């Protein structure tokens, strides 16, 4: 019995908790992509840079607060800096819409052209970020690093295996729950949310029934900016902030959005967790896990790892390709908010 | 190949830019830029063929370039016999097993009728097949990677002249493109963009981590060259004679024989570098012209017309009985193959293969900016885009430094903002690229040299 609990703890510590926090970050990112896709109708390649930009502004404000000795004690200072980051990200999104995307929307350009345009935006934002903070890795998490250390857990329960709980992971999961609840409540219950859903379902019909498209677009950017900034900051808080990483992150984010069914917010969230868990589960070495479960004679000699961690990245795409082949519309039928 | 006035202007501007750089920064710099420009132009032609002719999006440029690079290694590197001895049989067995597995899956797909059964059966067969193959494969690769890890640790190549790899690289990239195309070409264009982008990442990560094949992140250095080495040139009689003849007026003015010899030695060292680069430029230029010629021929042929018809109106082309899926696959493979040729040339020019150097920003998106800026659907436009953007990519750094110094000239030289800006000069090129792409898409969406509308 103890062995069984030990094995579960191993799994919790190395697979489930990291998977939940990484999945939350992906889900928030994918939700942003989904909103742009459903309302503005294009694949926004600049979304990764939007996340990075939000994280960067949050970091700048964190530094400012740290220099002023303002902090939250046990919690990271980044949390008070986050609203400023969100504001800046929203402004960036609105500016990019006003000066770039709006023109093509009015022209009714095909989605591919808009995707190309978003690549241009990606380059510009990328350059701004690099010019402001360079390309070095930045660690900006402060406060208490662990809520529960592995040693404490061992002492508390008397088990062989420790369970470490990083505060960044808990914060990530809590903020995600909060934000997701709010977003879905907004979409389902408020009038504005309903008008957004109507707009994404059928633009012409929505216009006929008197929905103001500019307002819908404005609110979309509000949501997208918030989601992107929070996702980017949480990712940076959990790992560390590196401007180049976000370009790579855009691919799993897209994969999550598509796997869940692009255009479907619920699908995007599920997709985020699917991608995160499969990345971690496929590349995790299960040796320790089986050590507790199997009798000694059957103990595995190898690492029992399906793929080496080098291929973490490839996993999300393999899943993407498989889903697209078997069920092109994604897990949940997409295209409608 | 008849150019109109506008195209001649574009060409002459480009030529004069290179001459300008030659006089200001030296001919060596100018030739380095030119070589990369030509390679970029070949990449853009590859992308242009699939995107400009048929509207098939290909964001996997980076992956195909890497396949070309792999070809350069596998063709030119001498084989490592020891590695073959220890791991060859294991690799052979796993390869045969893989073929067996593929045939099994093929037959299951053909023979089993019910769809859900098919998926389950295929899934099981693939799972067990992979477990068995993995066993042989990992044993073999582990042994191969143990062979002299500091110098070898991989299978090596075929020890052929590297110039063959340009063709082989095309086949490698085309082969990968065929598989990708079979899987993904039915998707809508923006999905296809994301999928190709992702698959190219997978290709690069395979090259990065399969050390038995490509040496992975340990890189392969010291590849053979298709052109002479500088050191050999400096010692050969005929080359010294040429340099002396070229600079005879300059040398005759120097009376002191000792000083004359010193000047001559310097000239020979400079000259050998330039001569090597010139040789590369010539080789690349020939490849570019050949590809350009055939690409143009194909564009005005009935096949090219059909491609345009498919691009402009897929439904009616389909109604006319054109097999769109097949044609899309063909053009995707051709485009990727040309990119693969460029990839092999790139590695040939560098003389080394560094899988970790393949990054999407530099090797996929910049190439796309080249195509869009130059003019998709027009081969000359694509070449021009490749030249202009690569030229700007290199030359924007000195220009930015100059501009920052002008604008901050009023500031204290140790001013923090000024120093920070000077530190971040390399990043201004991304800003420029983004701005150029946005401006072109807004005000000249067909590119600098747009596609010619043919009424025939």
Residues β-bridged to residue A146: A166
- CA quadruple A179, A185, A190, A195: dihedral sign: positive
Residues β-bridged to residue A72: A75
For residues B82 and B35, what is the distance between their CA atoms, to the nearest angstrom? 37
Nearest to B196 by CA among B70, B331, B336, B68: B336
Q: Is pLDDT of B144 > 70?
A: yes
Q: How confident is the model at residue B74 (pLDDT cuts 50, 70, 90)?
A: very high
Identify the residue among A135, A301, A314, A329 best suited for mutation to test binding to B, counting B beta carbons within 10 A and taking the highest: A314
First CA to last CA distance, chain A: 46
Token pair belonging to A163: 């369970």
Token pair belonging to A24: 């939350």
Please, are residues A133 and A57 in contact by the beta-carbon 8 Å criterion?
Answer: no
Give the per-residue pLDDT at A48.
Answer: 93
| pLDDT (average), residues A229-258 | 89
Could B201 and A324 be called an inter-chain contact, meaning their C-beta atoms sit closer than 8 Å?
no
Report the residue from A119, A308, A313 with minimal CB separation from B437: A119
Give the per-residue pLDDT at B401.
Answer: 87
CB of A121 within 8 Å of a chain B CB? The answer is yes
Give the per-residue pLDDT at A299.
Answer: 67
Residue A193 has, within 13 A of its CA and on its CB side, a CA count of 12
**How close, in Å, is residue A153 to chain B by CA atoms?**
37
**How close, in Å, is residue A120 to chain B by CA atoms?**
4
Could B57 and A317 be called an inter-chain contact, meaning their C-beta atoms sit closer than 8 Å?
no
Report CA Rg, chain A: 21
Residue-wise pLDDT tens digits, A165-223: 888 899 999 999 999 999 999 999 999 999 998 888 888 898 898 899 999 999 999 99
CB of A133 within 8 Å of a chain B CB? The answer is no
Q: Is pLDDT of B431 > 70?
A: yes
- Angstrom distances, CA of residue A198 to CA of A10, A104, A202, A261, B291: 46, 21, 6, 18, 50
Compare B433 and B256 and report the one with higher pLDDT: B433
Q: Is pLDDT of A296 > 90?
A: no
In a domain, A145, yes or no: yes
Token pair belonging to A328: 């092109």
Nearest to B332 by CA among B96, B133, B47: B47
| pLDDT (average), residues B221-225 | 86
Residues of A in contact with B58 (CB under 8 A): none
Could B184 and A321 be called an inter-chain contact, meaning their C-beta atoms sit closer than 8 Å?
yes
For residues A288 and A300, what is the distance between their CA atoms, to the nearest angstrom? 9
For residues A293 and B416, what is the distance between their CA atoms, to the nearest angstrom? 60
Residue-wise pLDDT tens digits, A81-102: 999 999 999 999 999 999 999 9
Could B198 and A42 be called an inter-chain contact, meaning their C-beta atoms sit closer than 8 Å?
no
Report the residue from A124, A254, A308 with minimal CB separation from B435: A124
Q: What percent of chain B has pLDDT over 70?
A: 99
CB of A131 within 8 Å of a chain B CB? The answer is yes
Q: Is pLDDT of B456 > 60?
A: no
Residues of B in contact with A248 (CB under 8 A): 201
Give the per-residue pLDDT at A302.
Answer: 67
For residues A30 and A334, what is the distance between their CA atoms, to the nearest angstrom? 13
Residues of A in contact with B360 (CB under 8 A): 247
Residue-wise pLDDT tens digits, B28-42: 999 999 999 999 999
Q: What is the mean pLDDT of chain B?
A: 88
In a domain, A335, yes or no: no
Q: What percent of chain A has pLDDT over 70?
A: 96
CB of A130 within 8 Å of a chain B CB? The answer is yes
Could B208 and A310 be called an inter-chain contact, meaning their C-beta atoms sit closer than 8 Å?
yes
In a domain, A242, yes or no: yes
Residues of A in contact with B441 (CB under 8 A): 113, 116-117, 120
Give the per-residue pLDDT at A201.
Answer: 86
Compare B148 and B202 and report the one with higher pLDDT: B202
For residues B437 and B361, what is the distance between their CA atoms, to the nearest angstrom? 14
Under DSSP, is residue A147 helix (H, G, I), strand (E, B) or coil? strand
Residues of B in contact with A318 (CB under 8 A): 202
**How close, in Å, is residue A43 to chain B by CA atoms?**
7
- The residue with tokens 């018809």 is B309
Residues of B in contact with A263 (CB under 8 A): none
Could A317 and B193 be called an inter-chain contact, meaning their C-beta atoms sit closer than 8 Å?
no
Could B441 and A117 be called an inter-chain contact, meaning their C-beta atoms sit closer than 8 Å?
yes
In a domain, A331, yes or no: no
Give the per-residue pLDDT at B119.
Answer: 80
**ipTM of model:** 0.90
In a domain, A294, yes or no: yes
DSSP label at residue B149? T
| pLDDT (average), residues A274-284 | 89
* Structural domains counted in chain A: 1
CB of A15 within 8 Å of a chain B CB? The answer is no
| pLDDT (average), residues B405-433 | 84
Could you write out the DSSP letters of every residue in B199-211? Answer: HHHHHHHHHHH-H
Could A120 and B187 be called an inter-chain contact, meaning their C-beta atoms sit closer than 8 Å?
no
Residues of A in contact with B361 (CB under 8 A): 123, 126, 247
**How close, in Å, is residue B190 to chain A by CA atoms?**
6
Give the per-residue pLDDT at A334.
Answer: 57
CB of A60 within 8 Å of a chain B CB? The answer is no
Contacts 24+ apart (CB under 8 A), B127-135: B129/B97, B129/B98, B129/B100, B129/B101, B129/B104, B130/B101, B132/B97, B133/B94, B133/B97, B133/B98, B133/B101
Identify the residue among B137, B431, B444 best suited for mutation to test binding to A, counting A beta carbons within 10 A and taking the highest: B431
- Give the pTM: 0.91
- Angstrom distances, CA of residue A181 to CA of A169, A174, A186, B260, B292: 18, 11, 8, 82, 56
Q: Is pLDDT of A336 > 60?
A: no
Give the per-residue pLDDT at B455.
Answer: 59
In a domain, A204, yes or no: yes
Which ranges of B55-163 does DSSP label H, i.e. alpha helix? 61-76, 81-111, 115-146
Phi, psi at A241, each rounded to 5°: -85, 125
Residue A52 has, within 13 A of its CA and on its CB side, a CA count of 30
Residues in CB range of B68: below 8 A, 6 or more apart = B165, B166, B169, B170, B172, B173, B339, B340, B341, B342, B343, B344, B345, B346, B347
The CATH number of whichever domain residue A123 belongs to comes to: 1.10.3470
CB of B424 within 8 Å of a chain A CB? The answer is yes
CB of A321 within 8 Å of a chain B CB? The answer is yes
Residues in CB range of A182: below 8 A, 6 or more apart = none
Residues in CB range of B79: below 8 A, 6 or more apart = B155, B156, B157, B158, B159
| pLDDT (average), residues A66-74 | 83
Give the per-residue pLDDT at B1.
Answer: 58
Residue-wise pLDDT tens digits, A24-37: 999 999 999 999 99
In a domain, A332, yes or no: no
In a domain, A65, yes or no: yes
Residues 266-295 of B with CB under 8 A from A: none
Residue-wise pLDDT tens digits, B152-188: 778 878 888 999 999 999 999 999 999 989 888 877 7
Domain assignment of residue A265, given as a range: 2-326
- Least-confidence region, from A138-142, A170-174, A328-332, B303-307: A328-332
For residues B195 and B179, what is the distance between their CA atoms, to the nearest angstrom? 13
Residues β-bridged to residue A75: A72
Nearest to B123 by CA among A197, A199, B169, B115: B115
Residue-wise pLDDT tens digits, A305-335: 777 777 877 888 888 878 877 777 777 775 5
Report the residue from A116, A255, A321 with minimal CB separation from B372: A116
Residues in CB range of A146: below 8 A, 6 or more apart = A164, A165, A166, A167
Report the residue from A43, A127, A314 with minimal CB separation from B430: A127
CB of B103 within 8 Å of a chain A CB? The answer is no
Residues 191-210 of B with CB under 8 A from A: 191, 193-195, 197-199, 201-202, 205-206, 208-209
């Amino acid at each position: 019995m103890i062995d069984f609990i030990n094995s579960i703890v191993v799994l919790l510590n190395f697979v489930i908790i990291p998977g939940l926090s990484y999945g939350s970050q992906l889900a928030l990112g994918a939700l942003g992509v989904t909103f742009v896709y459903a309302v503005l109708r294009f694949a926004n390649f600049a979304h990764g840079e939007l996340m990075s930009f939000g994280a960067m502004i949050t970091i700048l404000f964190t530094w400012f607060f740290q220099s002023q000795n303002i902090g939250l004690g046990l919690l990271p200072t980044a949390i008070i800096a986050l609203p400023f980051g969100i504001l800046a990200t929203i402004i960036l999104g609105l500016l990019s819409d006003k000066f770039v995307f709006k023109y093509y929307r009015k022209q009714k350009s095909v989605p591919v052209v808009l995707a190309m345009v978003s690549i241009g935006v990606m380059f510009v934002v990328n350059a701004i970020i690099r010019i402001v903070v360079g390309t070095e890795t930045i660690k900006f998490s402060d406060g208490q690093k662990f809520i529960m250390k592995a040693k404490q857990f061992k002492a508390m329960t008397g088990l062989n295996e420790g369970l470490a709980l990083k505060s960044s992971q808990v914060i990530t999961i809590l903020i995600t729950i909060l934000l997701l609840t709010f977003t879905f409540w907004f979409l389902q219950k408020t009038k504005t949310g309903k008008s957004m859903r109507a707009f994404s379902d059928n633009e012409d019909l929505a216009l006929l029934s008197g929905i103001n498209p500019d307002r819908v677009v404005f609110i979309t950017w509000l949501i997208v900016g918030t989601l992107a900034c929070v996702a980017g900051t949480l990712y940076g808080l959990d790992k560390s902030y590196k401007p180049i990483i976000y370009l790579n992150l855009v691919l799993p984010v897209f994969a999550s959005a598509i796997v869940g069914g692009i255009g479907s917010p619920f699908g995007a969230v599920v997709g985020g967790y699917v991608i995160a868990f499969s990345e971690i589960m496929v590349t995790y070495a299960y040796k320790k896990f089986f050590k507790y479960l199997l009798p000694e004679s059957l103990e595995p000699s190898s690492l029992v790892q399906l793929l080496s961690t080098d291929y973490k990245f490839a996993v999300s795409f393999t899943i993407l390709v498989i889903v697209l082949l078997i069920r092109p519309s994604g897990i949940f039928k997409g295209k409608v908010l | 190949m008849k150019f109109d006035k506008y195209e001649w202007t574009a060409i002459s501007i480009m030529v004069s830019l290179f001459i300008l750089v030659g006089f200001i920064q030296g001919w060596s710099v100018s030739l380095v830029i030119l070589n990369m420009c030509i390679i970029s132009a070949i990449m853009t032609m590859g992308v242009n063929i699939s995107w400009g002719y048929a509207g098939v999006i290909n964001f996997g440029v980076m992956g195909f370039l890497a396949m070309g690079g792999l070809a350069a290694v596998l063709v030119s590197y001498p084989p490592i016999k020891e590695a073959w001895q220890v791991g060859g049989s294991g690799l052979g067995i796993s390869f045969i097993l893989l073929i067996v597995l593929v045939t099994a899956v093929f037959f299951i797909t053909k023979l089993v009728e019910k769809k859900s059964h098919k998926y389950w059966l295929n899934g099981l067969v693939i799972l067990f097949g992979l477990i068995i193959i993995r066993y042989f494969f990992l044993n073999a690769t582990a042994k191969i990677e143990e062979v002299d890890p500091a110098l070898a640790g991989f299978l090596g190549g075929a020890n052929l002249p590297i110039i063959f790899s340009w063709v082989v690289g095309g086949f490698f990239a085309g082969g990968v493109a065929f598989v990708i195309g079979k899987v993904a070409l039915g998707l809508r264009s923006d999905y296809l963009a994301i999928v190709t982008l992702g698959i190219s990442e997978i290709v690069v990560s395979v090259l990065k981590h399969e050390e038995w094949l490509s040496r992975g992140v340990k890189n392969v250095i010291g590849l053979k060259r298709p052109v002479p080495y500088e050191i050999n040139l400096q010692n050969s009689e005929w080359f010294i004679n040429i340099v002396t003849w070229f600079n005879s007026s300059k040398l005759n003015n120097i009376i002191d024989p000792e000083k004359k010899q010193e000047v001559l030695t310097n000239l020979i060292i400079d000259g050998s570098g330039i001569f090597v680069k010139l040789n590369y430029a010539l080789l690349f230029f020939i490849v570019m012209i050949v590809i350009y010629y055939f690409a143009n021929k194909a564009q005005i042929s009935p096949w090219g017309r059909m491609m345009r018809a498919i691009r402009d109106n897929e439904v009616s082309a389909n109604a006319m009985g054109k097999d769109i899926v097949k044609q899309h696959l063909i053009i995707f493979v051709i485009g990727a193959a040309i990119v693969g040729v460029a990839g092999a040339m790139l590695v040939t020019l560098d003389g080394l293969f560094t899988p970790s150097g393949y990054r999407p920003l530099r090797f996929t998106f910049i190439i796309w900016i080249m195509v869009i800026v130059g003019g998709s659907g027009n081969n000359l436009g694509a070449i021009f885009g490749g030249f202009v953007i690569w030229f700007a990519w290199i030359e924007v750094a000195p220009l930015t430094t100059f501009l920052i110094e002008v604008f901050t000239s009023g500031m204290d030289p140790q001013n923090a903002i000024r120093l920070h800006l000077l530190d971040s000069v390399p990043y201004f090129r991304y800003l420029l690229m983004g701005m150029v792409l946005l401006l072109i898409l807004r005000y000249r969406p067909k590119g600098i040299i747009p596609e010619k509308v043919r009424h025939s």
